[in-house]
Structure 1
């Protein structure tokens, strides 16, 4: 009986040790501060198009959103999702029911420039209002 108890304790310890060794590091979500947010019209070679699904489509305007991302850690941040709100000149939402509006593949430590493209129905008047921008990414690359 005593030998069996010792064997169970030994095997439990071995399994616990193996699970600690083989457990991957946790991938932490890191907040990225965004500032100096602005936009500009896309160059003609990438800006033409339409928005729609199926047979119906609407004329569209293309814009590049620019800004500065600040990574306060000493490590790269990967796959940072950008969240924010974009309104037209009439305070109508440009991207209804969407707050995730872009992404940054890699954010190095410190400050760096970022840019992403948005497509807006052409009937929404400028100037656009860019509000409540923030980003969050991962301390390691997320594998898909």
Structure 2
């Protein structure tokens, strides 16, 4: 009697392991993650949100009207305490306006900062905030997540940054 129960239990355990493995493969396929690429959380600090400089092409002064958007730059530092690079890193944050309403509706991902080497790195992301959104802005839950292996196709040295983001990253906020 016990051996029949043990065999049934072992059979169910194997079936569950196969099902979980299949779910993992499907998730990796659907979300584009390379098999074996594990997610890594990184700490973010020294975060600021400032208007884009007037000379920044992303500021688009000709579009400053109630139906347009205002350009802001989210800057900060990210720490990678590990010994290896974290790849394809995204930054997440909840940004609120003066009345406590979310500035970026239905999204917490604010952008990609590419690969993060070991140690502390700075980042800058350009954000389009709906014009007329009352400031000052506050932010919380700022975090970064990347992978232990690349999950996107590599095209070149700056493949993760659009030309506008490259320009923002090179501009000193002072």
**Equivalence for 1:41:** 51
Structure 1: runs of 5+ lacking an equivalent: 1-23, 51-56
- 2:68 counterpart SS class: strand
* Aligned residue number for residue 38 of structure 2: 28
* TM-score between both structures, scaled by the size of structure 1: 0.73
The answer to whether the Cα contact below 8 Å between 1:78 and 1:104 also exists between their aligned partners in 2 is no
Q: Which runs of 5+ in 2 are unaligned?
A: 1-33, 154-174
Q: How far 1:143 sits from its partner (Å)? A: 3.0
Moved over 2 A (4+): none
The 5 Å alignment of 1:77-116 reads: 77-116=86-125
RMSD of aligned C-alpha atoms? Answer: 2.0
Kindly tell me the number of residue pairs found equivalent between the two proteins: 116
Kindly state the Cα deviation for residue 96 of structure 1 after the two structures are TM-superposed.
Answer: 1.3
Tell me the secondary structure at the aligned position of residue 58 of structure 2: helix
CA apart distance, 1:36: 1.0
- Contact kept in structure 2, 1:71 and 1:111, CA below 8 Å: yes
Q: Give a deviation string over 1:89-129, Cα, whole Å, max 9, x none.
A: 11111011111111111111011101101111111111111
With normalisation by structure 2, the TM-score equals 0.61
Larger radius of gyration: 1
